[in-house]
Structure formats: structure tokens, C-alpha cells
Amino acid sequence: MPRLTAPERECAIGMLQNGASAREIARRLHCAHTTITRIHQRFLQTGSTRDRPRPGQQRVTTARQDRQIVRDHVRDRTLLATRTAAQVQGRSGFIHPNTGRNRLRAAGLRAQRPYFGPILTSTTDRHRTPLHICRGRVNAVYYRDQMLQNHVAPFFNQHHDVHKFQHNNARAHTARVSMQYLAQKNIPVLQWPAQSPDLSPIEHLWDEIGRRLSRRHQMDNIRELEVALVREWNAIPKNTTQRLINSDAPHVSMQMAVTPVIDFPTPIKPLSRINIIVNEI
């Protein structure tokens, strides 16, 4: 049963003073008649309808620690609540991750899990760029500074016959900093529906590279994997990419209602925990 608010308690006292019974007031306020009786007794004893002071559970963090938690997550928006909990010493040991989440929620924030960049690629029927491999987490700032600024924007400046840039709906791609940068550079983005990797021919190209890797290479570490990927990427014939684009472009045009469809980057599952970004536009 919900608790009575302060105005409802004051109303109950006023109705009692006007001669109403506790049961009648309880029916009007949708509560138990014993609740009205206890409120009346409290009013007679203390002259107020407020709850009696309760000690409650002692707060495990100080106000200074609360401010520090908020500052840390504002500086690093990919900081995990579990990592924060392992660094903040409360009154009886390290705090629980939920405690950190509650402090962030009170400040209008929330902990965000970092996005691990998948393998990305883009291809057209006329141009190809070398394979580029990056390691580590790919957040929005990294994606803007390392990928859009260093690869995508220069490519569009050099090749004016490429009409659209397409990337998937990963967090780093749809983040405000990424979208603002693309708009600032006047790079049109192809709208891509969610959960639609089958529309992209690059998925079939990655299948071909995967088959080549399994047939021709024995990789024992990440370095050997990187070398093999670059080698097989460069060995893919141009007519293979042309055939894939010609076979899938009509389906994309029909689904997206965008023509001409020229750029087809899409992610696949990361290999071994390394983050590889392929720039072949």
C-alpha cells in the first residue's frame, strides 16, 4: 500500500478535527484505517505528521568521493563502474559497482561499456586503399581522429566520383562527434538499416579472405595474422570485388532507395581480440 504524502496527512488531520472517522478517511485516501490512527497519535504527541527521524544505513562514500566518481566518468566516458569500484575506498572497504552507478545516476550520468572496434572495410568498383590495422578500443574520438580524419576525409577529397560513405550503426559511428565531423567535411553518409549485414557485399569478401587464410596460412600469433590478412587482402582480384558489388548493389538500392550505391563498409567479428580497420574505398 502506498505511503501517504505530506498533504494527504495534513488533510487526514483536518478531517479528523472536523469529526470524520478514521475508517471514513481511510476509504477516501485508499489506505488502512490504522494508518490514519497512527498519524493522529503522532500528531497529538509531536504536533506534526512528519515521520520520526530514523538513523538509516550509513552512506559508504563521502561527498568528496561522490564528486570524484562523477569527475572520473566525465573525463573518461568509457570508464567501467567495476573499475571505479575497485579504486574507491569506502567506509568498510572498496565500494560495490552499483554504488558507483547510483552516484552517476544521481548526477544524470551512467557508466558506459567501451566499444571494441570490429573489422571494418569499404570498397568500390574503382578504388582500393591498403589494409590498415589498429589495436585497442575504438571509441568515437579514436574513430574520428584516426579513421575519418586520416583516411575517409582525404579519400573523399581525392575521389570526387565517390558519392556516399557508409558505415554501420556502431556507437563510434553514430556518436555526435563522428556525425558532426562528417557533416563538417560535407561527406554524405548512406543511411543503413540496423541488423542488415546481408545487404553488404563486403561480408562475402571477408568470407573469401577467411577461406584463403585457412587454406594458405598457419598463424600462431597476432603478428602472423596481421601479415596474412594484408597479404590476402592485396591478393584479392579486382574482378572479385566488382562481381560482389554488381550482385548486391541492386538489392541495396531497392532496400535503401539510394542510388548510386558505391560505398559498402560493414563490420564482421573481430579476429583474436585485435581490432583491424580496413580502408578500401
Per-residue model confidence as pLDDT tens digits over 227-246: 888 888 888 887 877 777 67
Mean pLDDT of 258-273: 36
Q: Average per-residue pLDDT in the chain?
A: 76
The yes-or-no verdict on residue 62 having pLDDT over 70 is: yes
Q: Tens of pLDDT along 207-221?
A: 888 888 888 887 788
Mean pLDDT of 178-207: 79
Q: Tens of pLDDT along 71-102?
A: 988 887 778 888 888 989 888 889 999 999 99
The yes-or-no verdict on residue 278 having pLDDT over 90 is: no
Give the other-Cβ count within 10 Å of 81's Cβ: 23
- Please enumerate in sequence order all residues whose Cβ is within 8 A of that of 108, keeping only pairs 6 or more positions apart, or say none: none
For position 143, what pLDDT does the model report? 87
The yes-or-no verdict on residue 268 having pLDDT over 50 is: no
Sign of the Cα pseudo-torsion (147, 153, 158, 164, in order)? positive
User: According to DSSP H, which parts of 86-201 are helical?
Assistant: 97-106, 140-142, 153-158, 171-174, 176-184
